[in-house]
A = this chain, B = another copy of it.
Amino acid sequence: MKYSSRIIEDAVNALSQLPSVGKKSALRLVLHLVKEGNQVEDIVNSLNNLKDNLKNCKECFNLSDHDICAICANVNRNKKTICVVESIRDVMAIEDTAHYDGLYHVLGGVISPLEGIDADQLRIEELINRIKTNGVEEIIMGISPTIEGDTTIFYLSKRLKETPIKISMLSRGVAFGGDLEYTDELTLGRSILARVPYSHSLAE
Protein backbone atom coordinates (compact mmCIF):
# COMPACT_ATOMS: atom_id res chain seq x y z
CA MET A 1 0.00 0.00 0.00
CA LYS A 2 1.39 3.39 -0.99
CA TYR A 3 0.66 6.22 1.42
CA SER A 4 0.66 9.73 0.10
CA SER A 5 1.70 10.99 3.49
CA ARG A 6 4.43 9.99 5.92
CA ILE A 7 2.21 11.11 8.83
CA ILE A 8 -0.53 8.71 7.79
CA GLU A 9 1.98 5.93 7.26
CA ASP A 10 3.39 6.44 10.77
CA ALA A 11 -0.08 6.43 12.29
CA VAL A 12 -1.00 3.25 10.38
CA ASN A 13 2.19 1.57 11.57
CA ALA A 14 1.60 2.62 15.16
CA LEU A 15 -2.01 1.42 15.23
CA SER A 16 -1.29 -1.83 13.45
CA GLN A 17 0.87 -2.88 16.42
CA LEU A 18 -2.42 -3.43 18.26
CA PRO A 19 -3.71 -7.00 18.42
CA SER A 20 -5.95 -7.99 15.49
CA VAL A 21 -5.51 -4.62 13.80
CA GLY A 22 -3.94 -5.10 10.37
CA LYS A 23 -2.68 -2.40 8.02
CA LYS A 24 -6.05 -2.10 6.28
CA SER A 25 -8.04 -1.70 9.50
CA ALA A 26 -5.42 0.68 10.85
CA LEU A 27 -5.81 2.83 7.73
CA ARG A 28 -9.58 2.82 8.20
CA LEU A 29 -9.13 3.96 11.81
CA VAL A 30 -6.64 6.64 10.80
CA LEU A 31 -8.88 8.05 8.07
CA HIS A 32 -11.77 8.01 10.53
CA LEU A 33 -9.66 10.00 13.00
CA VAL A 34 -8.63 12.46 10.30
CA LYS A 35 -12.33 13.18 9.82
CA GLU A 36 -13.24 13.18 13.50
CA GLY A 37 -10.38 15.26 14.85
CA ASN A 38 -11.93 15.77 18.29
CA GLN A 39 -11.82 12.04 18.98
CA VAL A 40 -8.04 12.12 18.64
CA GLU A 41 -7.73 14.31 21.72
CA ASP A 42 -10.00 11.98 23.72
CA ILE A 43 -7.96 8.95 22.77
CA VAL A 44 -4.60 10.64 23.27
CA ASN A 45 -5.57 11.89 26.74
CA SER A 46 -6.95 8.58 27.88
CA LEU A 47 -3.91 6.69 26.60
CA ASN A 48 -1.53 9.11 28.30
CA ASN A 49 -3.51 8.67 31.48
CA LEU A 50 -3.24 4.92 31.06
CA LYS A 51 0.52 5.09 30.73
CA ASP A 52 1.14 7.59 33.48
CA ASN A 53 -1.47 7.01 36.14
CA LEU A 54 -2.58 3.41 36.07
CA LYS A 55 -1.22 1.30 38.93
CA ASN A 56 -1.27 -2.26 40.13
CA CYS A 57 -3.11 -2.62 43.42
CA LYS A 58 -0.46 -3.34 46.07
CA GLU A 59 -2.66 -5.98 47.64
CA CYS A 60 -4.18 -7.99 44.83
CA PHE A 61 -2.37 -6.67 41.67
CA ASN A 62 -5.62 -5.74 40.03
CA LEU A 63 -5.26 -2.64 37.83
CA SER A 64 -6.30 0.41 39.76
CA ASP A 65 -6.32 4.20 39.83
CA HIS A 66 -4.93 4.15 43.38
CA ASP A 67 -2.36 2.19 45.36
CA ILE A 68 -5.14 0.01 46.72
CA CYS A 69 -7.92 -0.96 44.32
CA ALA A 70 -11.61 -0.30 44.92
CA ILE A 71 -12.27 -3.96 45.70
CA CYS A 72 -9.51 -4.28 48.32
CA ALA A 73 -10.47 -0.90 49.79
CA ASN A 74 -14.15 -1.83 50.10
CA VAL A 75 -14.88 -2.50 53.81
CA ASN A 76 -18.03 -4.43 52.93
CA ARG A 77 -16.16 -7.20 51.16
CA ASN A 78 -15.30 -10.49 52.81
CA LYS A 79 -11.56 -10.33 53.50
CA LYS A 80 -11.37 -13.99 54.50
CA THR A 81 -11.75 -15.31 50.97
CA ILE A 82 -9.34 -14.74 48.10
CA CYS A 83 -10.15 -15.77 44.56
CA VAL A 84 -6.95 -16.41 42.60
CA VAL A 85 -7.28 -15.43 38.94
CA GLU A 86 -5.03 -15.19 35.90
CA SER A 87 -5.77 -11.65 34.78
CA ILE A 88 -7.76 -8.51 35.42
CA ARG A 89 -10.19 -9.66 32.74
CA ASP A 90 -11.16 -12.58 34.96
CA VAL A 91 -11.71 -10.17 37.86
CA MET A 92 -14.15 -8.25 35.67
CA ALA A 93 -15.89 -11.43 34.53
CA ILE A 94 -16.39 -12.63 38.11
CA GLU A 95 -17.46 -9.17 39.32
CA ASP A 96 -20.05 -9.11 36.55
CA THR A 97 -21.68 -12.24 37.98
CA ALA A 98 -22.37 -10.40 41.28
CA HIS A 99 -21.98 -13.78 43.03
CA TYR A 100 -18.70 -13.11 44.80
CA ASP A 101 -17.99 -10.67 47.60
CA GLY A 102 -14.47 -11.66 48.58
CA LEU A 103 -11.09 -10.37 47.41
CA TYR A 104 -8.95 -11.33 44.43
CA HIS A 105 -5.35 -12.12 43.69
CA VAL A 106 -4.21 -11.56 40.11
CA LEU A 107 -1.42 -14.02 39.25
CA GLY A 108 -0.53 -12.39 35.94
CA GLY A 109 -0.79 -15.62 33.96
CA VAL A 110 -0.59 -19.38 34.42
CA ILE A 111 2.34 -21.78 34.50
CA SER A 112 3.02 -22.68 30.88
CA PRO A 113 6.27 -24.45 30.02
CA LEU A 114 5.41 -24.14 26.31
CA GLU A 115 5.34 -20.35 26.53
CA GLY A 116 8.28 -20.31 28.93
CA ILE A 117 6.24 -19.05 31.88
CA ASP A 118 7.20 -20.73 35.15
CA ALA A 119 5.98 -20.19 38.69
CA ASP A 120 8.65 -17.55 39.46
CA GLN A 121 7.13 -15.19 36.92
CA LEU A 122 3.70 -15.28 38.54
CA ARG A 123 2.69 -13.46 41.72
CA ILE A 124 2.70 -16.62 43.80
CA GLU A 125 5.11 -15.50 46.56
CA GLU A 126 2.95 -12.41 46.97
CA LEU A 127 -0.08 -14.67 47.43
CA ILE A 128 1.72 -16.80 50.05
CA ASN A 129 2.77 -13.66 51.93
CA ARG A 130 -0.74 -12.27 51.76
CA ILE A 131 -2.16 -15.43 53.23
CA LYS A 132 0.42 -15.50 56.04
CA THR A 133 -0.15 -11.98 57.23
CA ASN A 134 -3.94 -11.71 56.91
CA GLY A 135 -6.74 -13.81 58.32
CA VAL A 136 -7.51 -15.56 55.05
CA GLU A 137 -9.60 -18.72 55.44
CA GLU A 138 -10.37 -19.81 51.90
CA ILE A 139 -8.65 -19.68 48.54
CA ILE A 140 -10.85 -20.14 45.47
CA MET A 141 -8.94 -21.21 42.36
CA GLY A 142 -10.68 -19.01 39.77
CA ILE A 143 -8.40 -20.28 37.03
CA SER A 144 -9.32 -21.51 33.53
CA PRO A 145 -9.93 -25.27 33.28
CA THR A 146 -7.10 -25.82 30.81
CA ILE A 147 -3.97 -27.94 31.10
CA GLU A 148 -1.93 -24.88 32.07
CA GLY A 149 -4.61 -23.73 34.48
CA ASP A 150 -4.78 -27.14 36.14
CA THR A 151 -1.00 -27.25 36.41
CA THR A 152 -1.10 -23.89 38.15
CA ILE A 153 -3.87 -25.02 40.50
CA PHE A 154 -1.89 -28.16 41.32
CA TYR A 155 1.26 -26.15 42.00
CA LEU A 156 -0.58 -23.66 44.20
CA SER A 157 -2.36 -26.38 46.15
CA LYS A 158 0.98 -28.03 46.85
CA ARG A 159 2.45 -24.75 48.03
CA LEU A 160 -0.53 -24.17 50.32
CA LYS A 161 -0.69 -27.71 51.70
CA GLU A 162 0.98 -26.85 54.98
CA THR A 163 -1.36 -23.96 55.70
CA PRO A 164 -4.74 -24.65 57.29
CA ILE A 165 -6.48 -22.76 54.48
CA LYS A 166 -9.45 -24.29 52.70
CA ILE A 167 -8.83 -24.57 48.96
CA SER A 168 -11.75 -24.71 46.55
CA MET A 169 -12.14 -24.56 42.81
CA LEU A 170 -14.85 -23.56 40.36
CA SER A 171 -17.38 -26.30 39.65
CA ARG A 172 -16.99 -27.87 36.24
CA GLY A 173 -19.59 -29.40 33.99
CA VAL A 174 -22.11 -28.61 31.31
CA ALA A 175 -22.74 -24.88 30.84
CA PHE A 176 -26.04 -23.35 31.92
CA GLY A 177 -28.30 -22.85 28.92
CA GLY A 178 -25.96 -24.98 26.80
CA ASP A 179 -27.20 -27.76 24.55
CA LEU A 180 -26.08 -31.24 25.67
CA GLU A 181 -25.85 -32.27 22.03
CA TYR A 182 -23.17 -29.65 21.38
CA THR A 183 -21.25 -30.01 24.63
CA ASP A 184 -17.78 -31.41 23.99
CA GLU A 185 -17.26 -35.06 24.92
CA LEU A 186 -14.67 -34.38 27.60
CA THR A 187 -16.89 -31.96 29.48
CA LEU A 188 -19.98 -34.12 29.12
CA GLY A 189 -18.11 -37.29 30.15
CA ARG A 190 -16.61 -35.66 33.21
CA SER A 191 -19.90 -34.07 34.19
CA ILE A 192 -21.38 -37.59 34.37
CA LEU A 193 -18.48 -38.91 36.45
CA ALA A 194 -18.68 -35.84 38.71
CA ARG A 195 -22.46 -35.89 38.98
CA VAL A 196 -23.98 -34.35 42.12
CA PRO A 197 -27.15 -35.19 44.07
CA TYR A 198 -30.19 -33.33 42.74
CA SER A 199 -30.99 -30.21 44.67
CA HIS A 200 -33.61 -27.56 44.08
CA SER A 201 -31.03 -24.84 44.57
CA LEU A 202 -29.20 -25.93 41.40
CA ALA A 203 -32.15 -25.04 39.26
CA GLU A 204 -32.49 -21.57 40.69
Assuming the contacts A32-B18, A37-B51, asked whether A5 and B63 have C-beta atoms less than 8 A apart, the reply is yes
- How big is the A interface, by class? 35 or more
- A39-47, A110-118, A139-147, A155-163 - the one binding chain B: A39-47
In the complex, per-residue mask of A14-56: 1 if CB is within 8 Å of any chain B CB, else 0: 1101111100010111111110110111111111111101100
In the complex, per-residue mask of A61-81: 1 if CB is within 8 Å of any chain B CB, else 0: 011110001110000000000
Query: Are B39 and A14 in contact, CB atoms less than 8 angstroms apart?
Result: yes
**What B residues does A11 contact at CB under 8 A?**
46-47, 49-50
Query: Are A95 and B64 in contact, CB atoms less than 8 angstroms apart?
Result: no
Q: Which of B28, B41, B51 contacts A40 (CB 8 A)?
A: B51
Cα distance, A25 to B45, chains bound together (Å): 19
Instruction: Give this chain's copy count.
Output: 2
Chain A binding site: helix, strand, loop or mixed by DSSP? helix
Assuming the contacts A43-B14, A44-B44, asked whether A69 and B7 have C-beta atoms less than 8 A apart, the reply is no
Known interface pairs A4-B62, A5-B63, A18-B39; 12 further A-B residue pairs with C-beta atoms within 8 A, sorted by A's residue number: A2-B92, A4-B63, A4-B71, A5-B54, A7-B46, A11-B47, A14-B47, A17-B42, A17-B43, A18-B32, A31-B89, A40-B47
